[in-house]
Structure 1
Amino acid sequence: MSTRPAPLLAGYGIRFARPTESGAVAALLARAFADDPVMAWMIPAADRERGIARYFRLAQRQQRPRAGAVRVAATGGGRLLAAALWSGPGCWKPAPVRELAVLPRYAGIFGLRGMRRAGEVQNAMHEAHPQPPHWYLPSVGTDRGLQGMGVGSALLAQQLADCDRLGQPAYLESSNVTNLPFYENLGFRVTAEIRLPGGGPAFWPMWRDPDPPAGRPTRRDASGGSGERRRPTR
């Protein structure tokens, strides 16, 4: 499988987000996640998009101290087309002191009922999170009207190519079943289906083994087996 970026539309490229763009990144991701089942389950319907934007502003603050940080697809004029939050190996979980410091702000976003649900989501994700070192993709989104044009693939392919070069796996959770084929085309495989309690929606952990460099035997070639990727040890 190749992780070369999809052909770029004229006038944009992939780069790290600037600190001054945190609001624009949050607004873009809020639009991308406006219909996300898990977000809809956690955040009250009233002014949901604004609540999601507030959530992603906080998520970026938690993310920026980590290796990889925030990457964007952006035009030369500064318009953001897609954004991805990455964490490097061993850096996926914020320090407890950082999590405690932002709890009051998360409570203001989710409200009483949503905060309980957000805690259930976090607990389920932490329990499912694999232990082997890996790059973690907690959130990625493409702006409205640009899905299916290769922008999201190009944004992720840059980091995935680095994963292949370094021999490092990657991991994410998809909260929308319709997005599974998109990630599968990038080499991810579903490892489980996890349904949230109380009739909540499901999410799907997905793991990606690095592609070997050209000339190195693939797993199938080396083993003589079916080449089916194993699920990560948890």
Structure 2
Amino acid sequence: MNARTAPPSSGYGIRCARPAEARAVAALLARAFADDPVMAWMVPGPAGRERRIAAFFGLAQRQQRPRAGGVRLAATGGGRLLAAALWSGPGRWKASGLQELAAVPHYARVFGARGLSRAAGVQNALHEAHPDAPHWYLSTLGTDPAMQGAGVGSTLLREQLAHCDRLGQSAYLESSKASNVPFYERFGFRVTRELRLPDGGPTLWTMWREPVPGPRRPGTVTGGPDRHPRR
């Protein structure tokens, strides 16, 4: 069980990630997803798992960074990273065929032969289930384990959802833990499908959120499991 702590007394803010922070973001997300069912499925065996998950999130950031605001952080003024989220705007959630082809050798090094096959199955399943309607896609939300339950991930999520509401745009995500579903429901997300991954893989829950009109927004309470899987 990870110890839960209060947010730093100096406070923290929400901002876009800087290029020089890519490695620190990847390390944070690797810690947050160390026990994630989908990550454990794609990276079988404990040997080097956190290092390989960090490499995965390093690759994921490369796909997000060309997109304005794609990597969002909760961070202190001193530069300590508390939580990170990877977002894609409407129509920009899927990498191009050329990008995916170029990434294959990198993913092969991360997952190995067995894990690469599983990762490809996960990606195909998620692509097939992905909605066609315009939306913002939250592919990853992770909080440093020491800060989980302190409301940091909630604050990071709420900031982007408020932006979605101002624009009148929907949001979409996949959760790999049933225990996280109520957390996202507090912010207005609703389960649209239970998605069982191929070859005996774990189950994910796809979730959709319609924009909320007016000044009142969901998710005004803090705390809860501040974690969301990417793939």
Q: TM-score, normalised by structure 1?
A: 0.86
State the alpha-carbon separation in 2 of the partners of residues 32 and 160 from structure 1. Answer: 21
Correspondence for 1:28: 28
1:182 shift after superposition: 1.1
Q: Does 1:167 align with 2:168?
A: yes
Paired with 2:105 and 2:81, the residues of 1 have a C-alpha distance of: 29
Q: 2:94 is paired with a residue of what secondary structure?
A: coil
Cα distance in 1 for partners of 2:155, 2:214 equals 19
Note the alpha carbon deviations across 1:103-143, whole angstroms, 9 max, x for none. Answer: 00001111111111001100110001000110000011000
State the partner residue of 1:64.
Answer: 65
Secondary structure at 1:187 match in 2:
coil
Amino acid at match of 2:28: L
Distance 1:86 1:214 in 2: 23
Quote how far apart the aligned CAs of 1:44 are: 2.8
1:41 counterpart = 2:37:
no
**Deviation string for 1:116-173 (max 9, x for gaps)?**
1001100110001000110000011000121111100100111100101110000000
> Any residues of structure 2 matched to 1:187-202 within 5 Å, and which?
187-202=188-203
In the alignment, residue 209 of structure 1 is paired with which amino acid?
E
Indicate the larger mover: 179-188 or 80-89. Answer: 179-188
The structure that has the greater radius of gyration is 1
User: Residue 49 of structure 1 aligns to which amino acid in structure 2?
Assistant: E
* Deviation sequence 1:59-106 (CA, Å, 0-9, x none): 000111123310000011100000000000100001111111110000
Residues 59-68 or 92-101, more deviating: 59-68
User: What do the CA deviations read for 1:22-43 (whole angstroms, capped 9, x no partner)?
Assistant: 0000000000000000000001
Q: How far off its partner does 1:196 sit?
A: 1.1
| Structure 2 residue runs without a partner (length 5+) | 1-5, 217-231
Unaligned residue ranges in structure 1 (runs of 5+): 1-6, 216-234
Quick one: distance in 2 between partners of 1:16 and 1:147? 20
Give, as a single letter, the amino acid of the residue that structure 2 aligns with 1:78: G
Q: Is the 8 A contact 2:7 2:147 kept in 1?
A: no
1:1-150 matched pairs, under 5 angstroms: 10=9, 11-45=11-45, 46-150=47-151
RMSD: 1.4
SS in 2 for 1:179: helix
* Aligned twin of 2:219: none
8 Å CA contact 2:191–2:208 kept in 1: the answer is yes
Matched to 1:31, the amino acid is R
Identity %: 69
Query: Matched residues in 1 for 2:14 and 2:207: separation?
Result: 23
Distance in 1 separating the partners of 2:106 and 2:179: 31
Distance 2:37 2:63 in 1: 23
SS in 2 for 1:193: strand
Q: Distance in 2 between matches of 1:85 and 1:62?
A: 10
